[in-house]
Amino acid sequence: MTEILAVAVALATLAAGAAVVTKLFALIKRVHDWLDDWQGEPARAGVPARPGVMARLEAIEAQLKPNGGSTARDAVDRVERVVNRVERVLAESPEV
C-alpha cells in the first residue's frame, strides 16, 4: 500500500510540474513575441520585414514636422490656409 501511495504522489508531483512547465513556456513565448514586436524583425522568406517600435515612432514623428509638402503636417497647414481664405472671403462678402 505504501508503494502505491508513493507512486500516486510521484505521478501527482509530475503532473503538477508539467503544468507549471507548460505555463512557464507559454509565458516565455509571450515575452519573446513582445520583444520581437518591440525590436522588429528582419525579412525572411515570404514575410516582409517589420520595423520595431522605435523605428515606427520615428516615422510618425517625421510626419509631424513640415518638409515642404509631403508630410501630414504640411497637409494640415494647407487645409488651414484654405479654411482661413474661405473665412476671409465669407467675412468680406455681403450676407445672403
Residue showing cell 513582445:
34
**pLDDT beyond 70 at 34:** yes
Mean pLDDT of 48-52: 93
pTM for this structure?
0.58
**pLDDT beyond 80 at 96:** no
pLDDT digits (tens, 9 = 90+) for 75-92: 999 999 999 999 999 999
Please tell me the total count of domains within the chain.
1
Question: Residue 32: pLDDT band by 50, 70, 90 thresholds?
Answer: very high
Q: Which domain holds residue 63?
A: 2-92
Written as nine digits, the cell of 36 is: 520581437
DSSP 20-86: HHHHHHHHHHHHHHHHHHHHEE--BTTB--EE-HHHHHHHHHHHTS--SSSSHHHHHHHHHHHHHHH
